[in-house]
Amino acid sequence: MIPITRPWVGEAEAEAVRRPLLGGWLTQGPEVEAFEREFAAAVGAPHACAVASCTVALHLALKAVGVGEGDDVVTASHSFVATANCVRYLGARPIFADIQSGTYNLDPELVERSITPATRAILCVHQMGMPCDLVALRDIAWRHGLALVEDAACAVGSELLWDGGWQRVGRPHGDVACFSFHPRKLVTAGEGGMLTTADPELDRRFRLWRQHGMTVPDTVRHCAPIVVVEAYDELGYNYRLTDLQAAVGREQLRRLDAIVARRRLLADRYRELLAEVPGLGLPVEPPWARSNWQSFCVRLPSGTDQRTVMQSMLDAGVSTRRGIMCAHREPAYRREPWLAPLPLPESERAQDGCLLLPMYHELALEEQEEVARALSRACALAGAA
Q: Which pTM was predicted?
A: 0.95
Residue 184 and residue 48 share a domain: yes
Residue 240 lies in a domain: yes
Q: Which of 254, 285, 301 finishes a domain?
A: 254
Amino acid at residue number 237? Y
Report the distance separating Cα 239 and Cα 208, nearest Å: 10
269 touches 245 (CB < 8 A): no
Residue 380 and residue 234 share a domain: no
Report the distance separating Cα 233 and Cα 208, nearest Å: 10
Q: Which of 220, 254, 288 finishes a domain?
A: 254
Report the distance separating Cα 50 and Cα 29, nearest Å: 11
Cβ-count burial 105-131 (b if 16+ within 10 Å, e if not): bbbbebbbebbeeebbbbbbbbbbbbb
Strand pairing class (193-197; 47-51): antiparallel
74 forms beta bridges with 95, 122
Residues 6+ apart with CB under 8 A from 247: 13, 16, 17, 19, 20, 31, 35
Q: Within 10 Å of residue 270's Cβ, how many Cβ atoms?
A: 23
128: Cα separation from own chain's centroid: 7
Residue 215 and residue 345 share a domain: no
**First-residue to last-residue Cα distance in the chain:** 25
Digit-by-digit pLDDT tens for the chain (385 residues) are 999 999 999 999 999 999 999 998 889 999 999 999 999 999 999 999 999 999 999 999 999 999 999 999 999 999 999 999 999 999 999 999 999 999 999 999 999 999 999 999 999 999 999 999 999 999 999 999 999 999 999 999 999 999 999 999 999 899 999 999 999 999 999 999 999 999 999 999 999 999 999 987 777 766 777 777 888 889 999 999 999 999 999 999 999 999 999 999 999 999 999 999 999 999 999 999 999 999 999 999 999 999 999 999 999 999 999 999 999 999 999 999 999 999 999 999 999 999 999 999 999 999 999 999 999 999 998 765 4
DSSP 160: E
- Four-CA torsion 262, 268, 183, 372, nearest 10 degrees: -120
Residue 340 and residue 374 share a domain: yes
Residue 215 and residue 315 share a domain: no
DSSP 361: T
Q: Within 10 Å of residue 72's Cβ, how many Cβ atoms?
A: 23
Three-class secondary structure of residue 232 per DSSP: strand
Residues 6+ apart with CB under 8 A from 190: 181, 183, 245, 248
User: According to the model, what pLDDT value does residue 221 have?
Assistant: 67
- Four-CA torsion 162, 125, 75, 101, nearest 10 degrees: 90
Report the distance separating Cα 183 and Cα 6, nearest Å: 8
Domain that holds residue 148: 11-254
Residue 263 and residue 237 share a domain: no
Q: Within 10 Å of residue 4's Cβ, how many Cβ atoms?
A: 16
Report the distance separating Cα 358 and Cα 318, nearest Å: 8
Q: Which of 209, 238, 254 finishes a domain?
A: 254
Considering only CA atoms, give the Rg of the chain: 21
The enclosing domain of 310 has a CATH number of 3.90.1150.10
Residue 269 and residue 219 share a domain: no
Residues 6+ apart with CB under 8 A from 311: none
